[in-house]
Amino acid sequence: MSTPEFPDSLADAFADVPDDYRSGFACFVGRPNAGKSTLTNALVGTKVAITSNRPQTTRHSVRGIVHRPDAQLVLVDTPGLHKPRTLLGQRLNDVVRTTWAEVDVIGICLPANEKIGPGDRFIARELAGIHRTPKIAVVTKTDLVTSEALVEQLIAVDQLGKEVGIEWAQIVPVSAVADRQVSLLADLLVPLLPEGPPLYPEGDLTDEPEQVMIAELIREAALEGVRDELPHSIAVVVEEMLPREDRPADRPLLDIHANLFIERTSQKGIVIGPKGQRLREVGTKARKQIEALLGTPVFLDLHVKVAKDWQRDPKQLRRLGF
């Protein structure tokens, strides 16, 4: 019988940890499109959260893990908090609040290129109610504004804190896209974490189950083709992942069967495209990303199904993993 490997490798991984090592959880909040996912990716250095220029594309609490010699920072990427109009909207908001109560530090993302608005105030007020957790204001997308405009925004952020009763632990301007001050942000987050050993083995970038990440990659690719027609009507479920039988050991192939759900039959044509061309492109794009994620060749079998009005139906939501 073989002994389990996990405890050994874990002990190895933790052997060199200094006494003042810190570890803990941080999450970024902010209105849809504020740049939370992009920032998470930039900090972790690998694509784990899903970004798109449509609001509300982050459904799952994807964690990215930043490994440093002095600390381990686990990032929880939450969906945007917004006015719930559907059952899905309500569940998303619940996920956000639960996350806030559990983390060691919260970063509120405020885009440099947009005036602070009612959406930001709403989130800041909600945040002010979470007393014990330190809060950092992150001014995102600084590459899009002049330095004068940035200074004005920093002042506005300071005032926002005073207005809602939050004392910002820091106000940090960053650009995830231009890689400006991203590592400084990590440097400022780390001292706010409690002292303690690493929470995850070195090398782990996320503990999100593979199937969920794969489903998100497919959904992202699918959204890209049909951005304006179907912003929020797509859900993806990976039904099965199996290594193809009868393959030589040096040429493995992983079969992935996934269903792409839409809300109405009329949306089918949009997703599939003329002669199935769009769906093929979605499949190719998603397959490449999945192969990069898993490091193995993949055969992606993608089917489009109608789950009528899934956003409003509790049973369907459960089936689709919400």
Question: Can you say which residues are annotated as belonging to the binding site for GTP?
Answer: 30-37, 77-81, 140-143
Distance CA 139, CA 124 (A): 14
Query: Does residue 80 bind ligand GTP (CB under 6 A)?
Result: yes
How many chain residues bind ligand GTP (CB under 6 A)?
24
* DSSP H stretches of helix in 103-228: 118-128, 147-164, 182-189, 210-225
Distance CA 107, CA 321 (A): 27
Asked whether 169 and 192 are in contact (CB, 8 A), the reply is yes
Closer of 76 and 256 to ligand GTP (Cβ): 76
Segment lying near ligand GTP (by CB under 6 A), choices 15-23, 26-34, 161-169, 233-241: 26-34
Shortest Å distance, C-beta 40 to ligand GTP: 8
Q: For residue 308, which phi and psi values (nearest 5 degrees)?
A: -60, 125
Among 10, 56, 68, 232, the residue binding ligand GTP under the rule CB under 6 A is 56
Taking the CA atoms of the chain, what radius of gyration do you get in angstroms?
21
Segment lying near ligand GTP (by CB under 6 A), choices 2-10, 141-149, 248-256, 298-306: 141-149
Closer of 119 and 198 to ligand GTP (Cβ): 119
Query: Does residue 147 bind ligand GTP (CB under 6 A)?
Result: no
Segment lying near ligand GTP (by CB under 6 A), choices 174-182, 241-249, 262-270, 303-311: 174-182
Segment lying near ligand GTP (by CB under 6 A), choices 12-20, 52-60, 116-124, 211-219: 52-60
Shortest Å distance, C-beta 38 to ligand GTP: 3
Distance CA 47, CA 290 (A): 11
Query: Does residue 37 bind ligand GTP (CB under 6 A)?
Result: yes
Distance CA 191, CA 105 (A): 10
**Angle, CA of 220, 216 and 88, to the nearest 5°:** 95
Q: Which one-letter amino acid corresponds to residue 255?
A: D
Among the listed residues 125, 131, 102, the one whose alpha carbon sits nearest the alpha carbon of residue 27: 102
Distance CA 65, CA 198 (A): 10
Query: Does residue 140 bind ligand GTP (CB under 6 A)?
Result: yes
Query: Does residue 135 bind ligand GTP (CB under 6 A)?
Result: no
* Torsion over CA: 127, 128, 132, 137 (sign): positive
Distance CA 95, CA 78 (A): 7
Closer of 143 and 255 to ligand GTP (Cβ): 143
Query: Does residue 177 bind ligand GTP (CB under 6 A)?
Result: yes
Shortest Å distance, C-beta 160 to ligand GTP: 17
Segment lying near ligand GTP (by CB under 6 A), choices 45-53, 63-71, 229-237, 275-283: 45-53
H or E element at residue 35: none
Site residues, ligand GTP (CB under 6 A): 30, 32-38, 51-53, 55-58, 79-80, 140-141, 143-144, 175-177
